[in-house]
Amino acid sequence: MSPSNPPYPPGAPSSPYSGGAPGVPNADVAPGGRSGRRAVRTTTRRRAALRWLFEGTPGRLRLLGIGAVLACLVLSLVGSTAFSTRQSALADARADAAQLIRVQEIATQLVKADSLFTNGNLAYGLEAPKNLVAYDAAVAEASDLIADASAANGDDAAALTKVNAALSEYAARVAASRANNNQGYQVATGYLHQASDLLRGNEKVKVTGMLPTLQQLMGDNSARVDAAYSRSGRATWILLGAVLLALGGLFVVQVRLARITRRYLNVPLVGASAAVFLVLVTGAVVMVTAQRSANTVHDTSYKDLQNVATARIQAYTAKSAESISLIYRGTGGDYASADTRYTAATTDAAARLVGVGGGDELKAWRGAHDTVFQKAAGKGAGAWQNAAVAATGEGSAEAPTINSTFAAFDEVTVRTLDDRAATVDVGLTRGHLGLLLLTWIAIVVGVIAAAASWTGISQRLEEYR
């Protein structure tokens, strides 16, 4: 064989090496080329297998089966989310309502303590021991509630810390006022004024005040309750959307299946649809019942609770203003602003108690107030002293005084407050177990319906084998 006729096909390279130079690979043959060709063949086979899966009637059946499974899994995921959302929202509403009650009670205890302090200030060193005990108890209760509320909701902790610091300063001013008042020193009124600023705030001296801070927290917690109710209401629409999507998907699958196979009934698919429909009916009943109960609580007991709590805060505010007005009448201070605060607070309290209870007791106290202040406005050297005695004395059943009539108001409204708070707590707890069970039922039913749907499609696929 001559060198001019090499044993290679025409057009092929004379050797694996380009240019005939020894040791230089041909550029047309890439290293690892065989593995590359194997990868291409593997990809091609996979694509061919995938096309085979979804080609023809069997392929369309498989696609319908996947659609039915996805529809059922949507029910499982989104439906369970809807039940969980409703349960979580009502739990949040219950927790936020409880926090709102705590904050309101902090404010109530603070104005109660202030009313006891200002009323005792009228006695000029002869303050009743039970008055002192009641004041200490109110301050201690407020301090404990501040700690409880801070632990219950971290979002309120910073503001409550400021309230707690202001409460310590307030107690110090009260102690200083009492000490000077017992000695008959006029400076006692100055400390009383400082204590009032710490409680109510004073823009002139840039004191925020505990009550304005607590009012802001009340607004925040009330908004949280409303937001939780909104989330609870949206849960119904989430469930409805999930079930309708699942039912719609299964209906489309069954229609398409009937057209392809000419058979109008597929027992597993019908069973899956029935299970999904059952979740819709059961879920709707539980959802509507839970929401209706929650809405009833919100519109009745919760509303009453807010009105009674606010009325109590306003009444104690008026009680303090009443005593401050008498004190300033005796010392020559500005009692007109205290009178204005008394009138505004009692008017608001009376409006909030309409149809709730406690209105008659409030009216009786206001009547006793008017009687005492008529004495204070009388002529004679002993007019103011007689009014102060009437404002601090307990009186009798035949001739009740300011304190005894206010105590009756306090007793009635405390009972109403406790009753409404318990009703709110129970009302927002009702249905919790049912929603929890339905969360898991939706998951289980969705998975079972998905399996049944695929079984129904598989029965038709077997006919093509």
- Least confident among 28-42, 275-289, 300-314, 383-397: 28-42
Mean pLDDT, the chain, rounded, equals 82
Whole-number Å distance between alpha carbons of 211 and 413: 20
Mean pLDDT computed over 46-59:
63
Higher pLDDT, 56 or 340: 340
Beta bridge partners of 17: 25
pLDDT at 193 over 80: yes
Backbone angles phi, psi at 207, to 5 degrees: -110, 120
| Dihedral over Cα of 455, 457, 463, 464: its sign | negative
pLDDT over threshold 80, residue 431: no
pLDDT of residue 68: 81
Task: State the pLDDT at residue 12.
Answer: 45
pLDDT in tens, 408-420: 999 999 999 999 9
The model's confidence at residue 144, banded by pLDDT at 50, 70 and 90, is very high
Distance of CA 113 to CAs 199, 309, 342, 346, 394, Å?
A: 10, 16, 17, 18, 18
Is the pLDDT assigned to residue 18 strictly greater than 70? Answer: no
CA dihedral for 417, 422, 423, 428, sign (positive or negative): positive
Please state which of the ranges 38-42, 192-196, 365-369 shows the lowest mean pLDDT: 38-42
Token reading at 224:
């949280």
Q: Quick one: tokens of 365?
A: 């106290």
> In the numeric block, which tokens belong to residue 46?
């996979």
Task: Between 280 and 196, name the one with better pLDDT.
Answer: 196
Kindly tell me if the per-residue pLDDT of 454 is higher than 60: yes
What residues have CB less than 8 Å from 52, skipping those under 6 apart?
59
Tell me what pLDDT residue 394 has.
56
Q: Cα dihedral angle (456, 457, 461, 463), rounded to 10 degrees? A: 40
Confidence of residue 19 (pLDDT cuts 50, 70, 90): very low
70: pLDDT confidence band, cut at 50, 70 and 90? confident
- The tokens for 436 are 């929890």
Q: What DSSP assignment string belongs to 250-282?
A: HHHHHHHHHHHHS----HHHHHHHHHHHHHHHH
Q: Please tell me the predicted confidence (pLDDT) of residue 216.
A: 95
Q: For residue 434, give both structure tokens.
A: 């049912």
Say how many residues make up the chain. 465
Of 132 and 35, more confident: 132
For the chain, the straight-line distance linking the first and the last C-alpha, in angstroms and rounded, comes to: 60
What are 207's strand-pairing partners? Answer: 202
Residues 6 or more apart whose Cβ sits within 8 Å of residue 314: 345, 346, 348, 349, 352
pLDDT at 34: 64
At residue 24, the 3 state secondary structure works out as coil
Question: Residues with Cβ < 8 Å from 258, sequence gap 6 or more?
Answer: 264
**Helix 303-331 and helix 335-352: axis angle, to 10°?**
160
Q: What is the pLDDT of residues 264-313, one digit of tens each?
A: 777 888 888 888 788 777 877 888 887 888 888 889 999 999 999 999 99
| Of residues 455 and 15, more confidently modeled | 455
DSSP-based three-state secondary structure for 439 = helix
Q: What is the percent of the chain where pLDDT is above 70?
A: 83
pTM of the model: 0.76
With bands split at pLDDT 50, 70 and 90, how would you rate the model's confidence at 40? low
How many CB atoms neighbour CB 208 within 10 A?
18
Average pLDDT value for residue range 422-445: 82
- Euclidean distance between CA atoms 294 and 424, whole angstroms: 9
Which residue, 173, 172, 167, 178, is CA-closest to 121?
A: 178
pLDDT, residue 432, reads 73
pLDDT band at 122 (very low <50, low <70, confident <90, very high): confident
Whether 149 shows a pLDDT value over 90: the answer reads yes
- At 142, is the pLDDT very low, low, confident or very high (cuts 50, 70, 90)? very high
- Pick the closest to residue 406 from 349, 358, 365 (CA basis): 365
